[in-house]
Chain A
């Protein structure tokens, strides 16, 4: 057993932390907020230049060739600064399955420009009333060597800025994984306004043609690909939640150490100190379960139970730490001139992405009913 992190992992963390804390100031966030899209393109380019966008993309495809934990560290730092960049939909949900399941040609064509920040490829995992990309309602009909797709995807991050959108669709023979060109005929993007401010769309697909070169996995492998990608996405969000909640907790600790009422720092009231201490315990639980899941996925062992456990903690801890932080800040915590509010919105975003705590517990409970989740 080893709870330390390797030098390489810490290097990635330090590099990401350095760039992100330097670049993501409150003023810069405000500027980005004024733009039509909450996406900091200059920052994205800077991260590409530092090699971070390609952290876990193979060297032959223009990346650093590191593992999943390194990527999670980078994502945790993005969470710590609530940076306005699509690290998870692009670098995890899209890039990792392309690398794992795509043909050599697809890898070369799609990953190199992605790692260098030239193009975005995003992912549409959610459907209205559907949170599991491995069981979509969206339909794909074979046509030649490609497909014709009909259906609706929702909560698609940055679809209008992306080169391709990775989706799942069902055929008579199983689920397929396809890359949709959002500018193709039959695609309609309806902008959504959501809690976190992330630019999202609903994507309607009406007889959209997908060419062979954009088929990432056929019916024999598409479902597996989607589960594989969803698990990594969930764990990446848990890692991001570590950053989000750790930072809001630490902002709260510093704030309460400074803020005086009744002639003393409010941190010296036990009721205040103890609520912060509860956050500390929560963050530790989330961190351990999230990185356990990451390390198991990295080792490519079956980790579905551990992924579900991390997801429940990500939802619960995000919720509790966010509201404790707001409460202990008092009024300033929700003032948009003070940075805490963004963290609270992202905690909520993560909590409800790809399933809530309750729905995940129910899934785990079903597994328990089948005798599949004993403690060793």
Chain B
């Protein structure tokens, strides 16, 4: 075991850190801070254009597909730095859906969409969840029925994030109604243009200030070649997409950045009694706990990325990282917020805001990924079954 980066990886990280330092101008920062995690503003699209031109979109894509052909490890370094910088990089489109689309979409759609993704000009929304189908995703009821050269999509989705500025929705729909067929064997993936007739959306405002959407499909007609992959074989695309998503979810970049900034903050700030915040034993204890937790998360992420690169990823390990990371974030934000005290309640556009309001925002939004990206209970089911060979209840 050797945990150091190679000199090339170290150089990549240094290059990216400097790159994003420059990219994140105060104006861009203000714009993305106003719509946390979403992007979609004018400066955001300019930045995406630059990222595309500079070849930073599709770091992990093969060269034939127009990417940099780097391994999952370099891709993780990239995501760590984007996330540290706080740029709402649409990595679900570029790193998760994108490569799967490139491998499975019809030739025409691939040639149409892939270049745009790599140029930073196209974002996709993902529509799996439905009002009645969350964790039990395979129970989804939105249908796609073939009619001549077209598919007709009918149903309703919920929590379709980024749909407000997406060009396409990557949607899961039921294509096989035969009750004898297992639920997850009758699902296919389609591309729905957000300009299609019969498509509609309404915003959902969340406590984290992030906007997501309910999306509606009232007999939306799409050409036959908007089917991705094989008919009824969408489940495999969904699971491999989610696997790619998971490692980004628990990336340790943002929490590392926040710890470092909180340590600097506690060094500079003094209590009314004149004592430096960092001199309080309980402050040191809180910071030490976060430091200890981050180290494990960092190693878990590095190990996952290394395992993916070497084709050795174990299901239980991936789930362990997801559960540990998402629950650790909440604990870490709490411990850091305690150090800042009441100012950790001050919203980013408030007057005396500290650490650009990032900690306040992240503590407020941290709960999303404990259930999103696969509820942690399901991940624990996977760990006990695949990691410890324990029998599970039939479901």
Contact = CB atoms under 8 A, between A and B. Distances in A.
Contacts of A364: 288, 291-292
Given A257-B389, A280-B316, A362-B284, A1 B2 contact: yes
Interface in B298-328: 298-300, 302-303, 306-307, 310, 316-317, 320, 323-324
B367 interface: no
A375 interface: yes
B3 A273 contact: no
A375 B285 contact: no
Nearest to B294: A375
A315 to B, nearest CB: 11
Interface string A278-302: 1011001100110110111000000
A274 B300 contact: no
A269 interface: yes
B324 A285 contact: yes
A9 to B, nearest CB: 8
Contact of A368 (B2, B288, B307): B288
A365 interface: yes
B267 to A, nearest CB: 7
Given A273-B380, A368-B284, A5 B296 contact: no
Contacts, number: 154
B306 A3 contact: yes
- What band does the interface of chain B fall in when counting residues whose beta carbon is under 8 Å from A? 35 or more
B111 interface: no
Interface stretch (B4-12, B112-120, B154-162): B4-12
B383 interface: yes
B260 interface: yes
B237 interface: no
B1 interface: yes
Contact of B285 (A267, A269, A285, A362): A362
B256 interface: yes
Contact of A361 (B292, B384, B388): B292
B295 A306 contact: yes
B391 interface: yes
Interface in A303-335: 305-306, 308-309, 312-313
Interface in A81-117: none
A295 B2 contact: yes
B390 interface: yes
Nearest to A286: B296
B36 to A, nearest CB: 23
B387 interface: yes
Contacts of A1: 2-6, 9, 73, 302, 306
B377 interface: yes
B393 A269 contact: yes
B323 to A, nearest CB: 6
A253 interface: yes
A289 B300 CA distance: 10
Interface string B63-100: 00000000001000000000000000000000000000
A274 B377 contact: yes
A240 B320 CA distance: 22
B267 A288 contact: no
A5 B303 CA distance: 13
A291 B317 CA distance: 17
Given A2-B306, A291-B1, A276 B384 contact: yes
B293 to A, nearest CB: 9
Interface in A236-273: 249-250, 253, 256-257, 264-265, 267-270, 273
Contacts of A249: 388
A288 B303 contact: yes
A270 B391 CA distance: 10
Given A1-B73, A250-B388, A368 B287 contact: yes
A281 B391 contact: no
A280 B387 contact: yes
- Most central of A257, A269, A281, A289 by chain B CB within 10 Å: A281
- Most central of B299, B307, B320, B393 by chain A CB within 10 Å: B299
B28 to A, nearest CB: 25
A369 B387 contact: no
Interface string B252-264: 0000100110010
Contacts of B2: 1-2, 295
Given A273-B380, A273-B390, A289 B302 contact: no
A373 interface: yes
A268 B3 contact: no
Given A3-B306, A267-B390, A371-B263, A292 B281 contact: no
A301 to B, nearest CB: 9
Nearest to A301: B4
Contacts of B307: 3
Nearest to B387: A280
A3 B288 contact: no
Nearest to A371: B267
Contacts of B303: 3, 288
Contacts of B285: 361-362, 365
A313 B292 contact: yes
B384 A273 contact: yes
B124 interface: no
A230 to B, nearest CB: 19
Contacts of B288: 361-362, 364-365, 368, 373
A268 B380 contact: no
B391 A285 contact: no
Contact of A292 (B3, B267, B324, B388): B3
A374 interface: yes
A276 B296 contact: no
Contacts of A365: 281, 283-285, 287-288
B302 A253 contact: no
A365 to B, nearest CB: 3
B108 interface: no
A285 to B, nearest CB: 4
B259 A292 contact: no
A373 B291 contact: yes
A363 B259 CA distance: 17
B214 interface: no
Interface in B346-395: 377, 379-381, 383-385, 387-393
A215 B320 CA distance: 49
Contacts of A250: 388
A294 B1 CA distance: 9
A50 interface: no
A309 B292 contact: yes
- Nearest 3 pairs of A and B residues by beta carbon: A365-B284, A273-B384, A253-B388
Given A268-B393, A309-B291, 5 more contacts: A280-B316, A280-B320, A288-B300, A371-B267, A375-B294
13 contacts: A264-B393, A267-B384, A274-B380, A280-B384, A280-B388, A281-B320, A284-B317, A291-B1, A362-B288, A364-B288, A365-B283, A368-B278, A374-B263
